[in-house]
Amino acid sequence: MSIFAKIIAREIPADIVYEDDVCLAFRDIAPRAPTHILVIPKKPIVGLSDLTVEDEAIMGRCVVAASEVARQQGLDNGYRLVVNCGDDGGQEVPHLHFHLLGGRAMSWPPG
């Protein structure tokens, strides 16, 4: 069971900022920006490469939730939504998640 599954199950505390039937959003414990929130599906999907057609609505809901959280957090000047996939993509937790980053200007390329 991943750390995110434990957060969903409330076995590990988290600073939850949003929740619905499909996804959960909480503050990252090692923020890379003034606002750094993780948006995760409640369904245990390992990564982007594990998505199926049946997951389309889940992914859409997570993106809409990220947009709602960004609005709630006052990220009116913009934000970045990032998904890392696999070891070479920088994914550290084997549970699909979106990084919502904001509160400062972002540079490009990201790294």
Give all strands of the β-sheet with 79-82 in edge-to-edge order. Answer: 16-19, 23-27, 35-41, 98-102, 79-82
Question: What whole-number distance in Å separates Cα of residue 109 and Cα of residue 42?
Answer: 30
Residues 36, 95, 97, 99: which is the catalytic one?
97
The question of whether 97 is a catalytic residue gets the answer: yes
Q: How far apart are CA 16 and CA 23, in angstroms?
A: 11
- Show which residues are catalytic: 97
